[in-house]
Each structure stands twice: as structure tokens, then as C-alpha cells.
Structure 1
């Protein structure tokens, strides 16, 4: 993670200029005069005149250990810094959006698995049947349609046919309402299925092919043939052994799901006006809001590492071959 943090901080600052210089250019294009006193104050507040290694040390929170002062807190102390655009703490800005991001990502994964696993099992058990070809065709159609285009089509269809808008996670009367009420929760359910379906569709076709290929490989192994010869019920045999082994790629891929959904779903989130982390990250990178963008990327990296550890533990629990250190 330390090496990744150095790479992230270096790459984020690779484009020429910084947030302040971009802000000055924007003001000049608009015919406004820049307040140099305010500009200098911002440069000092965000250490923009310091060498890059000093800014990195401050951002990470290494300087906190010198005096244990609150103003020197950084990532190591759980403080994600401040946004250059708003001046607000990143922790505060990201808080609610991260919760919605987790919610959409979680149900998108359930949607993908709920579609891909049964179809993959059917396609493997009925190889080269009309159903196998049909599901394969539909899966590739779903994979080939860009998420943002599907979002636009759903928005247009719902507005035209039903007079109901599906953009955002809440209707206008609930969007600015603080907290969560029963009516607001019901309104959330009316909207959240759209991003779940759109983001889930992108990975469904690939997971169908993975499930089908893995299960076909398992069904041709000697232990399956032996179990069939002993008269074990086909359904019990299928679910108890081959399917469990074929699910390994689904479990091992948990670690990369959240970053993939956020990065791949950022354009969908912008199209649907979703209050998730993806649009924030895009906006921060485009505005050269260095600490905001770097902190979000480090947060996603950390979640990916935690997810990978979680998936490894699940694999150990579910696959006896891994527990016993055997490959087959």
C-alpha cells in the first residue's frame, strides 16, 4: 500500500500545473480578475509551493508523528484531507456517497451472480442446446451495449411510457430531505433498481462464460464419472461438488469488484445523476484536486486489498483442496 500511495500521488500530479493555476486560467477566460492575496493563501494552505516529497509526507500524515498535532493528521490517522474546490474535509464529502456506492455495488454483484450462475450451470449441463446458444447471444448483446447508453434508453423509456423519471436515487421532494424516512426509503427502491441492472449487466456475460467453462471442465473429471457410476443423484452430485469448485472465480474476484464497479460505472453515475463516489473522483481528477483524488484512489485501493483478503478466506472455507494445499 505504501508503494501504491507513492505511485498514486506521483501520477495524480503528472499533468502540468495545479488546481490554483487551472482556477486562475478559468477566471481569466471568464473575464474575472484573480485575487492574488487569496491565491497565495490557498497555495500556503495546501502546501503547493513545497517540494512534492514534503506534500506527500503531509498528505500521508508522517509529519503528525513529529508533534502529534491535529492539523498534521493524514491518511495514516484516518484523515483524507481537504478538497481544494470546497475546502471541506474529504471524509465529510465522501461519507454518504460511499454508503450509496456500497449499496449499489453490493446489489449489482448479487444481480450479476443471480443471473450468471444459473445460466452458466444450464449452459454447461445443456451444452450446444438452443438454450445455450440463446443465453450466449443475449449475454453478448448485454455486454456490447455501453452502460451509459442503456441508462439513457431506460431514462427515455420510463419518462415516455410511464411518466416516471429514474435519474438519481431519490425524487425531487426527497433529494434534499435529511435522514431516512419510510416514504424516502420506498422512493429509493423505485430508483435504485436502474443502476443495479445497468452495472450488473456489464459483467453478466463474462461471468456466464466463466461459470460455463469451469463447470464443463469439472463435469469431465474422473470423480464426477465415478460418482455417477455409483448412482449418486445427478442434482445432488452437481451442486455438491462441480458447482462449488466452479464458483471459485466468483469468490476470488470479490476483491476487485468495488473498484471495477466504481471506475466502470462512473459514466453511468454521471448519466443517472447518482450520488456515488465515481462522479466525485472524475470531478476531482479533472479539476486537479490532488489530495481529494489521491485520497479517493487510496481508499479504493485499500478496499480492494481488504476484499482480496476476504475472498481468500472464503475460498479456504469453501474449497477443501485449498485448505489441504492441493491443486486437484
Structure 2
């Protein structure tokens, strides 16, 4: 009864609440699936720790031989089992997951990294801002240039310029992003015009102004790659929407009333290109966050994607789960925001309203 009244009085609020509930269930099943997939991986973090200690002792100098011969005594089954029990790895994966979930919900604690023993919240917070800044800058540039180029080339439809722009848009949209990143890094290495890493080698607190300019110089090539990969598809969507709108009956009616072509083009047809972009922006944001994983690995950028990759290699389940869940929550929140914006931009959309 209460939900029905809320749906009648505030359809948008009801829609937001229902989407949030859906997001919670999606995150729950995502975390469950991640735990299950990590369980299927060969070995566990105890094996990783054992391997690291063996390698460290093997590189320790003259005593390496005797240490290597005594590893079987050091890492016996009883000690390994005790270590797994201390870390909670002796339980089935679903028991581990519900323990982690209880700790997060009740104690608001993401746990500690099983490798570094540092709090997961600290590791995530130290990398999160870098990833957000990189992807938000990419989103702003892709949005700005997609609208400018999409609107401009829609006015040049059928010309050689439009055909050439469409060809290059399709080419870079289909070009493998990982290959483009490697080629750009080779370009930076050969020419020396740009750094081969995407982050300055000194902290922001040391020299804020110098760090800002150095940061812009370091991330230029990764941003350029992200821009080329994202602007092609978005520009083509806006161009196609503009051409579709220019053939609508209301456009002929506006022209018949003597309204200038510039006003028809920008004030009326252009406004109707916003809806498809808002709908596709959530997918664009998801692709940016997904692509930043490869970008951060190749250009050694200290972001959440690279942190997640290192955690997966080390099978640090607490770190993997926290990073993956947080990025997934950001993508789901972006989709929710795009749906809400549609209701404000287009008065015809009424979420949850009775028909």
C-alpha cells in the first residue's frame, strides 16, 4: 500500500528507489560470482605468499642453497593449513563471501589486503581519485568534440569531407584499443616527446603547479587514445540523430514558417540529439572504466584498474572484490543518473506514471 501511494504521488522517486534496490541485488550477485570465479582459479593467496618467500630466500646470497633445500620443512602442510585458517580460506567460498558481506554492512570495514596487510579502504582511496580524474576528463572531451563534430558533419552530409570523417570515425572505433596504446607508447619511446608513463614521478604536495603541468603532459597520450576510441561511435550517433531529425515533419513546418535554417538546426533539431546521447553515455562511461584497466597497465598509471589487476594476479580476494564492486557501483550509478536526466530533459518521459 505504501509503495502504491509513493508510485502515485512521486513516480520518479519510486523509480529511483526501485532502481537502487535492483542495484543492490546486482552487486550482491556480482560479488558472489567473483568469489566463485576466484575459487576456481588454481592455488590461492597462501601459495602466492609461499612462492614469494621461496623466491626471496633463493635470492638471499650464499645461504640460498641450504634455504631452498629446507623449504619443505618450513612450509609443511600443517603450517599452510594454519595460515589458510587464519585468513579464513579454509571455508567454502560462499561462507567467505557472506562473512565479507557482514563485515562490510555491519562494521563498514572492507577488510585488509591479504598480501600487504594494508586496509583495503586506504589502498582503494589512494587510487580511486586518479581513475576518476582520468575517466571524467576523457568523458568531457569525448562529449564536447562528439557534439561539435557530429552536428557539423551532419550539415555536410554526403560531401567528401563527411565521407572522410565517417571513414576515420569507423576506423578508430574499430581499431583495437590495446594495440593503439602500445603504438602510442612506442611513439613516445622513440621520439621522446612524451613520457612512456602516465603519471609524474613526484607527489602533488611537493610542487602543485609543476605537478599539474607535468600531469597534463604525462596523460596526453593515454587521453588521446581514449578519445580516439570513444569519439568515433558517439559522433556517428549524434550525426545520425541530427540527420533523422532534419527529415521530421516538424522541421518542414518550421521552415515553412520562415524560421532561419540556423535556428532550425541548432535550437530545434539539436535539442533532440541529447536524449540518445544521455542513454548511451552510461555505456560510454562503462567502456571508459573497462578500458582504463588496459590503459593503466600499459602506461603504469596508478589507478584502480591497475590495482585490481595486481590483486587478481596475487589472488588477493579482499582487494579484488572491493575494487570490482566499487567500479561496478559507479557504472550502475551512472546508468541511474542517465535515466533520471532523461526525465528532466524530455518532458514526455514519466517513470512509473500510470498509463
Q: TM-score, normalised by structure 1?
A: 0.84
Cα drift, residue 94 of structure 1: 1.4
Decide which moves more: 186-195 or 19-28: 19-28
Residue in structure 2 matching 1:110, options 140, 154, 163: 140
Residue equivalent to 1:295: 322
Residue equivalent to 2:3: none
Cα drift, residue 160 of structure 1: 3.9
Answer yes or no: is 1:85 the counterpart of 2:115: yes
Residue in structure 1 matching 2:84, options 32, 43, 48: 43
1:23-45 C-alpha deviation (Å, 9 max, x unpaired): 44566688642545764454233
Shift in alpha-carbon separation, 1:127–1:156, aligned structure 2, 3 A:
same
Cα drift, residue 258 of structure 1: 4.0
Task: State the distance in 1 between where 2:80 and 2:205 align.
Answer: 34
Task: State the distance in 2 between where 1:200 and 1:307 align.
Answer: 19
Residue in structure 1 matching 2:335, options 287, 290, 308: 308
Contact 1:13 1:290 in 2 (8 A): no
Contact 1:244 1:319 in 2 (8 A): no
Answer yes or no: is 1:232 the counterpart of 2:245: no
Task: State the distance in 2 between where 1:130 and 1:77 align.
Answer: 62
Cα drift, residue 101 of structure 1: 0.5
Q: TM-score, normalised by structure 2?
A: 0.78
Larger Rg: 2
Cα drift, residue 219 of structure 1: 1.5
Task: State the distance in 1 between where 2:243 and 2:105 align.
Answer: 46
Q: How does 1:178-327 map to 2 (within 5 A)?
A: 181-323=208-350
Shift in alpha-carbon separation, 1:286–1:129, aligned structure 2, 3 A:
same
Matched pairs, number: 312
Report the 3-state secondary structure (helix = DSSP H, G, I; strand = E; otherwise coil) of the residue aligned with 1:322.
coil
Residue equivalent to 2:34: 8
Cα drift, residue 159 of structure 1: 4.5
Residue in structure 1 matching 2:47, options 2, 14, 21: 21
Shift in alpha-carbon separation, 1:138–1:13, aligned structure 2, 3 A:
same
Q: What CA RMSD, in Å, does the superposition of the two structures yield over aligned residues?
A: 2.7
1:209-249 C-alpha deviation (Å, 9 max, x unpaired): 21122222222111111111112222222222322222223
Decide which moves more: 127-136 or 140-149: 140-149
Structure 1 unaligned regions, length at least 5: 62-72
Cα drift, residue 96 of structure 1: 2.4
Structure 2 unaligned regions, length at least 5: 1-23, 59-67
Decide which moves more: 12-21 or 290-299: 12-21
1:164-191 C-alpha deviation (Å, 9 max, x unpaired): 4241211x3x15x656622222211221
Shift in alpha-carbon separation, 1:323–1:223, aligned structure 2, 3 A:
farther
